[in-house]
Amino acid sequence: MSERVTVGVGRIGRAHGLTGEVSVLVRTDAPEQRFAQGTVFELGAGRRMTVAGTRWHRGALLVRFEEVADRTAAETLRGEVLTVTVDDLPLLDDPDEFHDHQLIGLRAELADGVSVGTVRDVVHGPAGELLVLARDGAPDALVPFVQAIVPTVDLAAGRVVLTPPDGLLDDE
């Protein structure tokens, strides 16, 4: 039997209002699709949450779940990660787009083949995505996930190739 692989697509934040809405820090490129009414998410300990409705408020996604009746119940969910199985993720049409779970664990190396670490995480920030590289004997490095710096993502070979500007991978 194969293991079910799940990925986080959002983290529940603060309760909003009195009717059980919560803010969600979105970790998906398509929140309108991922958080559609009727979508079921898994939380820890086998709990499941079903989206009853969503709306945007001051740049934040607010979600109402069928299982959450009021603010008190919503407050207990703060910090929980909403997950889906990898099989539930949409297929990507663009060969230059990747799901986070496809990148995490890839070997990061320079164009000459020198290993510089392993992709530990992908951070989605307002200015774009960053690869977090775990490095032996050095602090993690943040690498902008842009074509000029990461020209090659080779999933079959398990690697990303970097052409970093001077100073990007310095240990300071």
Mean pLDDT split into 10-residue runs, the chain, 172 residues: 68 94 87 89 87 92 96 95 76 74 92 94 83 94 94 94 92 64
Of 8, 14, 7, give the one whose Cα is nearest residue 79. Answer: 14
pLDDT of residue 44: 75
Rounded distance, CA 13 to CA 71, Å?
Answer: 12
| Whether this model's pTM surpasses 0.75 | no
pLDDT of residue 125: 74
Would you state the structure tokens that stand for residue 97, as one six-digit string? Answer: 């787009």
Query: Which residues lie across from 11 on neighbouring strands?
Result: 25, 81
CATH class of segment(s) 6-88: mainly beta
Judge contact between 169 and 116, C-beta under 8 A.
yes
pLDDT of residue 90: 63
CATH class of segment(s) 100-162: mainly beta
Would you state the structure tokens that stand for residue 120, as one six-digit string? Answer: 């530990």
The gap between the terminal CA atoms of the chain, to the nearest Å, is: 46
Rounded distance, CA 35 to CA 26, Å?
Answer: 9
Would you state the structure tokens that stand for residue 54, as one six-digit string? Answer: 């969503």
pLDDT of residue 98: 82
pLDDT of residue 1: 40
pLDDT of residue 92: 67
Domain ranges of the chain: 6-88, 100-162
Rounded distance, CA 108 to CA 111, Å?
Answer: 10
| Residues comprising the chain, all counted | 172
Coil, strand or helix at 66: coil
Would you state the structure tokens that stand for residue 157, as one six-digit string? Answer: 């070979």
pLDDT of residue 2: 47
pLDDT of residue 88: 66
Coil, strand or helix at 21: strand
Would you state the structure tokens that stand for residue 99, as one six-digit string? Answer: 């799901």
